[in-house]
Structure 1
Amino acid sequence: MRVNAYQFRDTWLLSAPVPQVFDAVTDVAGYPRWWPDVRTVSRVDDDTAELVCRAALPYALVIRMRRDEQDVHRGRLRVHLTGDLEGVLAAVVLRRPGGTRLEITQHVIATKRLLRALSPLARPLFQVNHALMMRRGRRGLQSHLATIAR
């Protein structure tokens, strides 16, 4: 595997019904309301949005997400990523006792010059940065979904 290639797998257990979770994760424009590391979202067209993300480390990522699949009946989502990260993000939204299981997989190559240059040494830091961002995303989504349920 290339030193600037990353694979991530995250599972979020959420105490909300599948339709609410699916709606929240497909509403990319709403991410900044509940995900503190997603700083801005700009709509490019009906299937594409540009996000600016910044987690714990002092750099921002500019990523374009283009919808490839959005199947509410199968609970499947898939987007292609371009920009500072190139690759694919896929998610499956599954019913579980007491709520929803959201399984997220990402296969990306870091194309941002800083990340490419530092990947040989800073790879563990980048992985921790990603984990922190995903943890804050899960917590933010859970709080957001609890607000909707009230």
Structure 2
Amino acid sequence: MTIAIDDPKRTGYAAEVVANAFLELARAEGRTLTQMQVHKLVYIAHGYTLALLGRPLMYNTVHAWQRGPVVQRLWQHWGERGRDPISEPLPVAPGEPDLADDGEALEVIRSVWNGYGSMEGGELSRLTHRAGSPWSQTYGLQDNLIPDEITREYYTTLARSA
């Protein structure tokens, strides 16, 4: 059986669920996030979840676009929003699991927020563009997909050096 890349039967959560977790953390601190910040935070949390928990945080694909890793599913919601703050949580499809009962995943998200949440979008983009990053290994390839395995290896190395 072949599972489609964005098939919700795959392990993990919808990207919207993860994005909403970051939007809620920002809102709790009286802050807003741009779409670039959310894309990068979601991707970084996905990477650390792969590395630390051995499972994906989300089932959606990540693409290496010019300004860094992008979850196309999130891009479909925000498009060219640019630096405008995201004011509302994203709609989540009925039946999608939420993070409420996944303490391990929530801990990774909170840790990523504490470590990276104060960074601006451009700063996060530069961080995800570093030499050897999953983005740098896949940008310019035909499909620009960033495979979970490359992401896991990279974030495992980062976690070990922290």
Same fold (TM over 0.5): no
TM-score normalized by structure 1? 0.33
Higher strand share: 1
